[in-house]
Amino acid sequence: MYRLFFYLILLFTILLQAQSKIQKISLQLQWKHQFEFAGFYAAKQKGYYADVGLDVSFKEYKNGVDIVNDVLSKKSTYGTSYSDIVIDYLQGKPIVLVANFFKHSPLVIVTQPDITLPSELKNKRVMGVEKSLKSAAFLMMFKDFDMDLNSFTNVPPSFTTKEFMDKKVDAMVAYTTNELYTLNRAGIKYNVLNPSSYGTEYYDDNLFTSRDELINHPKRVKNFRDASIKGWTYALSHKEEIVNLILKKYNTQHKSYDALMFEARQIQNMMNPALFKIGSVSVRRLRIMAEDFIEMNLLPKNVSLDFSDFVYKQRYYNTDLTKEEKNYLEKKGVIRMCVDPDWMPFEAIQNKKHIGISADYFKLLRKNSHMDIKLYPTKSWQESISAAKSRKCDIFSLASKTKNRLKYMDFTTPYLKLPIVLATRIDRPYTYNFYALKDKKIGVIKGYAIGEILHAKYPQMRLVEFKNIHEALKKVESGDIYGYVDNLMTIAYTIQRDFTNQMKISSRVNEEVLLAIGTRNDELLLHSIFEKLIHTVSEKQKQKILNSWISVKEVKETNYNLLFKILGFIIVLGIIFLYRYYILKKYNKKLEKLSTTDVLTGLNNRLKIDTTLQNQHNLFLRYKTPCSIMIVDIDYFKNINDTYGHQVGDTVLKEIANIFISSVRTTDIVGRWGGEEFLIICPNTNMEELKILAQNIRKKVVSHKFSKINQNISISIGLSTFQINKTITTIVKEADSALYRAKENGRNQVCY
């Protein structure tokens, strides 16, 4: 009896401990329950969340809910959102993009049959959630037609299609994965206004959380992300099972099995797991989206497109100190800190006190940790470096990681990032190419990381070391050296204070100074403590610190002459940066073209063709307009390479590519599929029209006189056309099989 009682207590204790390890979190959905969130349902149903100790509850969307604010106020732990989340981040909201699931947004506006263009929505009644109508994709489409949200009347949604079917509204916001099925089944005629038809392709179903969640619970974020991705992988390969799960547990919209299966197939195309890793995020795509938002005036033109703190990375720490770290601090007692005694506005020693930006940071760090951090006074930065090497001080308050410093210090995650610029006399020209200064004498501060950076990148440059910035700028002013290099904030601060009429910024180096806390590398726990501690300073606190120092240096007295000079300086600097932005954007466009173009033939490459195939398939599924493809292969091309050499073979490929371009219509898309194979996409083309086009191309190739060889060349072509319930993979496979038959039947022919 006693033994049984003991086992019952033991079992109860084990169950209690297991229960205490389960963490309850919530996910706020951006819409009503449907297959759009199937991956999350699957992760819960199959136990993927439970396996990592998570109990996840799903919150269905309700009118008036602001999902981002809900997550930031901790009403919800995670949320899903439209592409506008990029705007929220760039406007300063502390959010993190954990994963993206829809590579193409299914959000469209469905209109009555007489409305065919966005401009025809003027003075009409449009039903939809105001937040979705304000989505960047719609705003971009409206902008192209000189419209905005005031051009029509917004009707609150009923979350059904009834008002549209009864023609009580002229249009409604819809998902191609959902409402179109209902309208098709009911035989309702409609048109679709799709932002992607006007060149707008944005992410959708973005999983995000708060910065606090990532910093304080990094393992939980990783576990939730991994389990959700695992759930989506399962849901896409077990559609019928998850549809039945939705019908049983989540069918608040009372959808039918067929409607949910239609949605599931559409979502497979939106996610396109054959081309994109589930959950993956492209920073390049985010930048393109952000540039569109800037063009729409949703973001300021000077906003920094830095997504390093936005896209999820597994590098954040729980800020709670371990028992070992607490014991270390208790035993250590005082932590001695070395600073740069003359480096304003960042830091300085004044009246034996540490002042500046880093001093304000350390006030917060002391408050957050209750550590006893005391200043170790020095007279120069070089003296501070010597003190750190001899272990007279334990930390640097603010320093860059360099190869030499790593011999005696470790460094935390940077908490300040600053561009490097060149200051010269006001009569010097602006320098766009920093390499052109290799014969000039350029000043740097002895012991600063900038000297190491410049020496490594520009080994021919004549660097002259100085004790401090004032000594260096005096030499620039007298003409003894050409210029002085430092970070933008320090130079601007010093010029405005002491050299307003003599100095200007004349160039920018394509490097940044990354400033962090340095910790002695023979006491490893010190590094882990400060790595955690630096993340306790919020983005709002960081901005407040910077703003306070900017205002201090600008508002000394009401001196309008000085104000106009500073304003002129800022305008010149702004023009320089805008010009540089224009140049970078120009080169980025060139790089984008290179990334989608086959180098040899100038045709679309495989990546571009794959993306175009997906887009055309989406349009076919939406509008039922015909679309066909042909795969073309050069007959006996290996013999040409073996007989004439690969250079001649390359010339043949180029000439054949030109034949294709001159033979197809302007709406057709030609790409190099691989080797001597090409793929041609023909929108609005049925099989009969495709046969005529293919035969025309074949005849032109056969009759062409090639420049480098004395023989005719033929091609074989396989045809296929888009059909309902056939995936892109099946359509391409059919064309490939037809090509194989053409080869087997003697080549120089078209098969379908």
DSSP string across 81-105 = E-TTHHHHHHTT--EEEEEEEESS-
Q: Distance between CA atoms of 627 and 472, rounded to whole angstroms?
A: 68
What pLDDT does 580 receive?
66
Closest CA to 264 of 289, 241, 296: 241
Q: What is the mean pLDDT of residues 461-478?
A: 89
Whether the ω angle into residue 345 lies within 30 degrees of 0, i.e. cis, is yes
Is residue 473 pLDDT above 80, yes or no? yes
Q: Average model confidence (pLDDT) for the chain? A: 85
What pLDDT does 555 receive?
32
Q: What percent of the chain has pLDDT over 70?
A: 91
Q: Which residues pair with 54 in a beta bridge?
A: 23
Alpha carbon 537 to chain centroid, angstroms: 24
Who's near 579: CB < 8 A, 6+ residues apart? Answer: none
Closest CA to 33 of 14, 57, 53: 57
> Which range, of 177-181, 318-322, 684-688, 714-718, averages the lowest pLDDT?
318-322
Domain spans of the chain?
Answer: 26-102+203-295, 107-198, 333-556, 606-751
E strand or H helix that includes residue 443: strand 441-445
What pLDDT does 3 receive?
52
Is residue 556 pLDDT above 50, yes or no? no
Q: What is the mean pLDDT of residues 178-194?
A: 88
Q: What is the mean pLDDT of residues 168-188?
A: 89
> In the sheet that 171-175 helps form, which strands lie side by side, from edge to edge?
153-155, 125-127, 171-175, 107-111, 191-193
User: Which sign does the torsion angle of CA 438, 444, 449, 452 carry?
Assistant: positive
Is residue 559 pLDDT above 70, yes or no? no
What pLDDT does 446 receive?
86
From residue 618, alpha-carbon distances to 103, 199, 723, 727, 728 in Å are 12, 14, 12, 11, 10
Compare 603 and 563 and report the one with higher pLDDT. Answer: 603
Tokens of 286: 């985010």
Q: What is the mean pLDDT of residues 668-694?
A: 90
What pLDDT does 403 receive?
83
CA atoms within 13 A on the CB side of 234: 22
Tokens of 49: 């969340």
What pLDDT does 17 receive?
45
What pLDDT does 590 receive?
59
Report yes or no on whether pTM surpasses 0.85: no
Is residue 585 pLDDT above 70, yes or no? no
> Which range, of 350-359, 570-579, 719-728, averages the lowest pLDDT?
570-579
- Superfamily the domain 606-751 falls into: Reverse transcriptase/Diguanylate cyclase domain (3.30.70.270)
What pLDDT does 724 receive?
84
What pLDDT does 562 receive?
61
What pLDDT does 204 receive?
87
Q: What is the mean pLDDT of residues 602-630?
A: 86
Range 26-102+203-295: architecture per CATH: 3-Layer(aba) Sandwich (3.40)
Question: Contact, 97 vs 311, CB < 8 A?
Answer: yes
Do 26-102+203-295 and 333-556 agree at the fold level? yes
What pLDDT does 431 receive?
76
CATH class of residue range 107-198:
alpha beta
Q: Which residues pair with 609 in a beta bridge?
A: none
> Which range, of 373-382, 426-435, 658-667, averages the lowest pLDDT?
426-435
From residue 225, alpha-carbon distances to 21, 507, 679 in Å are 18, 43, 37
Q: Distance between CA atoms of 429 and 548, rounded to whole angstroms?
A: 33
Banded model confidence at residue 738, pLDDT cuts 50, 70, 90: very high
Q: Distance between CA atoms of 105 and 264, rounded to whole angstroms?
A: 14
Specify the CATH number of the domain 333-556: 3.40.190.10
Is residue 8 pLDDT above 60, yes or no? no
